[in-house]
Structure 1
Amino acid sequence: MIRRNRIAIAVAGGMATVLALVMWSTNAVGVQGTNVAQTGSAVEAAAAPGDYGYDAPSSSAPTDAPAAGAQNSAAQQPPAAAPAVSNVRLVAKTVDKMGDVVQDGDGRTLYRFDKDTPKPPASNCVDKCAETWPPLTVAPGSTPQLEGVDPALVGTIKRADGTEQVTLAGWALYTYSKDPAPGKWAGQGVGGTWFVIQPNGKRNVECLPAGVTAPAA
């Protein structure tokens, strides 16, 4: 009985082998191609990466890291140029009788004009007015040197002639051509519209000439 079973199994195995060969030969494109592809994929997956001439990428490397070219490009970008510092200076001082004032680098008292506007900053002193009250100007793109003045309050405006006039708290700054000497303030209260400016940009209403009334705040 055992011998007969072995014969039967052998015959069955042989027939299975023949049947497999027939199917392989008649379906070379379909079944064979699929089996070969699957077998190849399994072999490749089982093989070490070094068998194919490359190293496996590290799983710990970040996938969103910028490319080396992008990093180099960013590193090569020049930093934004800082504004040039002018030789013009704004100096906050406290002087006798007048109190808090702002002077230029030569000690000349600086003024503001009530007919100007701080928001938006604009100057309405032109032509003959600008000859009597010379605007305090700086080279385009530059900033004045500051002593005791808040940089956040300092800016510039472009005048009609193209020059850059310094502003303090939005108010355009001027000197007075009739001041007899540095540190003097002959322009205080002229026309009821010209006043010495304080470091915070407000009018200084000390030492007003006779007949000039301090304007409302």
Structure 2
Amino acid sequence: MPDEREIRRVLVVTAHPDDVDFGAAGTVATWTDAGIEVTYAIVTSGEAGEAFPDTPRSEVAALREAEQLAAAKCVGVTDVRFLHWPDGRLTPSLELRRAISRVIRQVRPDRILIPSAELDLERIYASHPDHRAVGEAAIAAVYPDARNPWAHTDLLEDEGLEPWAVPDTWVMASKNATHAVDITDTFERKVAALQAHASQTGGNEGMEDMLRSWGTSVAQKLGLGEDRIAEAFQVVDTR
């Protein structure tokens, strides 16, 4: 991995509002605390989600975007970009690769955090088809698209976006995760970020205990100790 002191900008790409908060909010908080600029690119607005008995379907997207903005503030993120692709209908298309490549070239990050493209039947909720589609499109945007001037040539010719190679790629919810980030000191902010997604987590009185259990299990598995809380990632060298 690059020296953490070399990381100035991180781009997080997810399929839905709340994905980053379940998978990496504690880690994001450690980055922003260290002075790293973090940008979120949320591909959909979560408008096809469930559990909205009191909200007209036409208002769900705006509600979930507002929740994500509030959650981002809990962990020090102010640059949140919604790409407005259709929730529940994502595929790893060339068009989605172009859209993610565009954001990479705009942000020019030193690190990118993306979903896993794996289908893991032991963790089916993490393997939502939209997550996998964004994961596959995002890694293709990292390599080869965003760095290649001959890929999506309109980004350079029409929008003036120069190619950019992201040297460091982190993958959330990967069964091959071996890198742990200690989030013990930022755990409460992770909980606050998820509580901001009230339409998804409201009324779940056991959520904090569940998150703590997950985090302590990760910390123990990856050798941080029994009294620590962690999030885990697969780190890919994409220099």
User: Taking structure 2 as the reference length, what is the TM-score of the superposition?
Assistant: 0.25
Which structure ranks higher in relative contact order (CA pairs < 8 Å, sequence separation ≥ 6)? 2
Kindly name which structure, 1 or 2, has the bigger radius of gyration based on alpha carbons: 1
User: Taking structure 1 as the reference length, what is the TM-score of the superposition?
Assistant: 0.26
Higher share of residues assigned strand: 1
